[in-house]
């Protein structure tokens, strides 16, 4: 196949990915790849469709096309994604940040009135939550935990990419060996919350390429992380502090009830942009 210019490459992507992805998603893949390779906008792609790519760029496009047919996420193929307007390195060791998590971060930023809050993110993954919070609250003291050394390596890279100082610590949320040395203003977490029984409803690209450690919990105790995180928050939050979590859409009421049982009295359940129960804020 002739694979030398933008028009030919775009046509081949549309042909080989038809039936695997919706047409709009295929067009988006094409734009992301040419933005990554050439810095092109969508308009540039239309206006410069006869532009020839060099051999290395053509090889990258062939590789990307093959990986897309294998359901690999486009973010893994180019090695990065955009979250809350910032660039983040991603790979198989971390979850790709989702729009719903942007809403969780936005909620924290809208709520906060403290010039220099102390913040802990539990289960940080790519580090997207603490990086955005620190970028928008430059005087904040931000730390983050994860059980995965590989995830922490990516998170540290993302702090460096965005020129930020964040304290990252290897720690198991369920059996922590590291604890905050002071009371905190904000604790936030997007822990594993998908039940094993929900696997059958998930896309191939998530199941094959994203870390199951960060996704799944046992069907018989789906709130295991929320219980431990809420207990930690109850112990280490200031009296006017808040816990923010992303949740399983099917377990909103159960999560709120758990937080009340632990001792939180001010609890708010909020829906995401798709109208699903997705976030909880808890205070005293």
Cβ density class 182-203: b for 16+ within 10 Å, e for less: eebbbbbbbbbbbbeebeeeee
* 226 has binding-site annotation: no
Is 10 annotated to bind a ligand? Reply is no
136 marked ligand binding residue: no
Known binding residue 124? Answer is yes
Task: Tell me: is residue 99 an annotated ligand-binding position.
Answer: no
Residue 41 labeled ligand binder: no
Q: What is the chain's alpha carbon radius of gyration, rounded to the nearest angstrom?
A: 21
263 is in an annotated binding site: no
85 is in an annotated binding site: no
241 is in an annotated binding site: no
Question: Is 146 within any annotated ligand binding site?
Answer: yes
- Relative to beta strand 118-122, strand 184-189 is parallel
Residue 199's alpha-carbon distances to 99, 110, 150, 267, in angstroms, are 20, 34, 24, 29
Residue 204 burial (CB count, 10 A)? 11
**Backbone torsion region of residue 275, taken as left when φ is above 0, otherwise alpha when ψ lies between -120 and 50, otherwise beta:** left
In the annotated binding site for S-adenosyl-L-methionine, the residues are 123-127, 146, 190
In the annotated binding site, the residues are 123-127, 146, 190-193
In the annotated binding site for substrate, the residues are 190-193
């Amino acid at each position: 196949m002739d694979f030398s210019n933008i028009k030919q490459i775009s046509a081949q992507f549309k042909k080989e990915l038809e039936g695997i992805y919706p047409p709009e998603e295929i067009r988006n893949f094409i734009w992301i790849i040419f933005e990554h390779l050439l810095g092109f906008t969508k308009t540039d792609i239309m206006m410069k469709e006869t532009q020839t790519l060099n051999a290395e760029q053509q090889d990258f496009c062939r590789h990307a096309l093959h990986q897309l047919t294998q359901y690999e996420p486009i973010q893994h193929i180019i090695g990065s994604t955009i979250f809350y307007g910032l660039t983040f390195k991603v790979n198989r060791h971390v979850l790709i940040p989702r729009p719903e998590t942007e809403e969780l971060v936005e909620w924290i930023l809208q709520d906060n009135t403290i010039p220099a809050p102390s913040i802990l993110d539990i289960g940080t993954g790519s580090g997207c939550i603490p990086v955005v919070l620190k970028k928008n609250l430059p005087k904040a003291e931000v730390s983050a935990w994860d059980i995965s050394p590989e995830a922490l390596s990516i998170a540290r890279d993302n702090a460096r990419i965005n020129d930020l100082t964040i304290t990252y610590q290897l720690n198991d949320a369920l059996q922590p060996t590291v604890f905050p040395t002071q009371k905190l203003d904000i604790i936030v977490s997007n822990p594993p919350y998908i039940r094993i029984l929900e696997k059958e409803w998930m896309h191939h690209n998530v199941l094959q390429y994203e870390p199951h450690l960060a996704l799944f919990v046992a069907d018989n105790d789906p709130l295991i992380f929320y219980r431990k995180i809420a207990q930690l928050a109850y112990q280490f939050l200031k009296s006017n502090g808040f816990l923010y979590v992303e949740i399983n859409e099917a377990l909103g009421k159960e999560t709120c009830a758990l937080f009340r049982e632990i001792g939180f009295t001010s609890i708010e359940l909020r829906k995401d942009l798709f109208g699903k129960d997705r976030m909880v804020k808890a205070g005293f």
